[in-house]
Structure 1
Amino acid sequence: MQSSATCPPSTPTWSYWDYWGTQVTGFDLIEPHSDLTITASSLVETAPPEPPPPAPAWAEIREATVDSRLLEYLTPTGRTTVPDELVERARELSKGLDVHETAVAVSSMVADHVSYVPGATGVNTSTAEAWEQGAGVCQDIAHLVLGLLRGLGLPARYISGYLHPEREAELHRPVAGQSHAWVDYWAGDWTGYDPTNRVRVDESHVVVGRGRDYDDVTPHKGIYRGVPGGPPEVTVEFTRVA
C-alpha cells in the first residue's frame, strides 16, 4: 500500500521498479562514515489464500513455457542447479501427480532431507552442499525446490519476503519477525508454497521481491570502499494495525 526507506540525514534516495517487478530504493553516500543504518517501513495488506487454480495438464504447462517470461523461470541458475540424481528422484516421485501435488511432494522431499537450522549455511552455500550436509536455511530449501521443479519442466520463481510469527497478533503491539524465502510455481497462474514450513502461502507471508533466485532479490547490495567491517545486523518488526 505504501513504503519508504530512509538513510542517514541529507542522503538523497531514488526508487524504481526493476526487471522482475520489485521496487528498489537506491542512494549514494560518499561522505566518510563509521556506520550505516537503513530503515525501511511499509504498510501492507495481506489476505487468506485463494484456493489454488485447477491443475492444468502437464502438456498445457509445456505449451505455456513458449512464453519467454516463463522460460526465464525454467532455466537453471548457479544457485538453483541441482545434481541430476536428485532430479531423477523427483521425477520418480512425481509420476502420476498433477502440478500442485508435484510441488508439494518435491517440497516435502527437500524438507524431509534438509532440516531448517539457522546459521547452518551461508549466503553462498550451493544446493549440493546444503543437500549433502542435510541442514540449511529457508534460502537453501527454496533453491533446492526451484531446481527440482524446473528440472521437471515446471516454471518456478524465488520469493523473498517476511514471515509474521503470530497469526492472531494483538493490534498495535510490535512483534519480532524474520526474513523468509519461499517459491511460486506456475499452474496457469502463480501459486505460492512455503517448503520450509510445508504450507501454502497465506496472510502471514509478506512479499518483498520475486526473481529467478536469491541474487535477483537481495535485500541490499552495492559498492563499499573502506576497511572491511562485520556482517550486517538486521531486525524485522511487525505491527498489526487492523
Structure 2
Amino acid sequence: MDSWRLKIKHETGFTYAGKVGSSYNEARMSPRNEARQAVLDARVEVWPPARTYRYEDYWGTGVTAFDVHAAHEKLTVTATATVETLPPGDLIDPAGGASWDDLAVADAVDRWHELLLPTARTALDEELASLAEAIRGGSATPHAAALSVCEKVREEVAYVPGSTGVQTDAVQAWRLRSGVCQDISHLTVGLLRAMSLPARYVSGYLHPSPTAAIGDSVVGQSHAWVEWWVGRWTAFDPTNGVPVGERHVSVGRGRDYGDVPPLKGVYSGPANTGQGVEVTITRLR
C-alpha cells in the first residue's frame, strides 16, 4: 500500500472598498488526523496579525477562530499542512454493507437523523425524488444504490468550472446539467438521503494528477466529495468517479457546504469587493 506525502498551501481572504475597523472570522482549512490520513504539521497564519484559537465544531471539523481589531483594507489567511495519505484500502463490495432493513431500524434512523434530512442546498424536486426512488428500487443493497447514484450523476452532470455559483443548489445543477464539485456533491448527497441513506458532504483538497511527479508544485483544488453510511462510512468522489484515496485530503464534514466553508466572518466597514483563493499542492513522496 503506497502512501503519498502532500504539502498543501491554501491562501484566501477578502478585499474591502476601504478600511475595516474590526472583523470576526472562522477558518476551516486545516486537515485532521483520521484513518486514512496523518497530519505531520499544520498551521494557519493571519494578516493583519491576530491571535488565533482552535476548537472542534459540532460536526468534528477543526476551526481556527480569530478577531482582527486593527484597521485593514485586506484580510489574508494562509493555511499550510503536510499530510500523509493512503489509497482507498478496504472497499465494500456492492453486494456488501448494511441492508435496507438495517438502515430502517429506529436506532439507525435516530443516530443519523440530521444526515437524513434535506437542506436548502440538497433538497430535491419531484423529478429527482422519482430518480432516487427508481435507483433504490433497482438496487439490492444501499451500497449498490449509492454507487449507482454516483455513476448517474457523473453521466448526467458535466464538470464545468464557473458554470454555477456558491449558492447553486442540487436542483439547479441538475437542470443545468453542469456544475462544479460542490454542486455534484450536493446533488449526490440529496439523492442518497432521499433513499434513506445517511450521507454527508466532505470538503478538502485534491491533487489533480494521479501520476504526479515528486517535488513538482501544481495548482491544486479545494474539493468536495461525499460519504455515506452502510454499517460504516465510505467515501467516494462523484466528480471524478473514484473512491477517495491518496490524492484526497479531507478537512471538514457536514450536511452541506454551509457547514464547512473555508473562511467566513462578519465585519464592520465598507463593502467586500472580492475574495481570492489560491491552492498549491506538492507531492513530497
TM-score > 0.5 by shorter chain: yes
Task: Show the counterpart of 1:70.
Answer: 112
Task: Show the counterpart of 1:175.
Answer: 218
Within the candidate set 183, 194, 206, 2:237 is matched to: 194
| Range with greater deviation from structure 2 (147-156 or 55-64) | 55-64
Task: Show the counterpart of 2:171.
Answer: 128
User: Do structure 1's residue 21 and structure 2's residue 60 form an aligned pair?
Assistant: yes
Instruction: Using the TM superposition, give the Cα deviation of residue 44 of structure 1 relative to its aligned residue in structure 2, in angstroms.
Output: 1.2
| Range with greater deviation from structure 2 (92-101 or 61-70) | 61-70
Q: Distance in 1 between matches of 2:163 and 2:142?
A: 31
State TM-score, norm by structure 2.
Answer: 0.80
- Segments of structure 1 that go 5 or more residues without pairing to the other structure are none
Cα shift readout 1:36-68 (whole Å, capped 9, x = no counterpart): 111101121110112223322111122275364
Instruction: Using the TM superposition, give the Cα deviation of residue 86 of structure 1 relative to its aligned residue in structure 2, in angstroms.
Output: 1.0
Instruction: Using the TM superposition, give the Cα deviation of residue 85 of structure 1 relative to its aligned residue in structure 2, in angstroms.
Output: 2.4
Residues 139 and 214 of structure 1 are in contact (CA less than 8 Å); yes or no, is this contact kept in structure 2?
yes
Matches within 5 A, 1:39-58: 39-53=78-92, 54-58=96-100
Q: Distance in 2 between matches of 1:25 and 1:104?
A: 34
Percent of aligned pairs sharing the same letter: 47
State TM-score, norm by structure 1.
Answer: 0.94
Residues 94 and 105 of structure 1 are in contact (CA less than 8 Å); yes or no, is this contact kept in structure 2?
no
Q: Distance in 2 between matches of 1:170 and 1:35?
A: 35
User: Do structure 1's residue 90 and structure 2's residue 132 form an aligned pair?
Assistant: yes
Residues 6 and 40 of structure 1 are in contact (CA less than 8 Å); yes or no, is this contact kept in structure 2?
yes
Higher relative contact order (CA 8 A, sep 6+): 2
| Range with greater deviation from structure 2 (43-52 or 65-74) | 65-74
Residues 48 and 68 of structure 2 are in contact (CA less than 8 Å); yes or no, is this contact kept in structure 1?
no
Q: Distance in 2 between matches of 1:4 and 1:115?
A: 35
Instruction: Using the TM superposition, give the Cα deviation of residue 96 of structure 1 relative to its aligned residue in structure 2, in angstroms.
Output: 3.8
Aligned length: 242
Larger strand fraction of residues = 2
Do the aligned partners of residues 32 and 142 (structure 1) sit closer, same or farther apart at CA in structure 2, a change above 3 Å counting? same
Q: Distance in 2 between matches of 1:228 and 1:65?
A: 48
Residues 4 and 42 of structure 1 are in contact (CA less than 8 Å); yes or no, is this contact kept in structure 2?
yes
Q: Distance in 2 between matches of 1:65 and 1:166?
A: 41
Aligned structure 1 segments of 4 or more residues deviating by more than 3 angstroms: 64-69
Residues 48 and 76 of structure 2 are in contact (CA less than 8 Å); yes or no, is this contact kept in structure 1?
no
| Range with greater deviation from structure 2 (166-175 or 114-123) | 166-175
Secondary structure of the equivalent of 1:28? strand
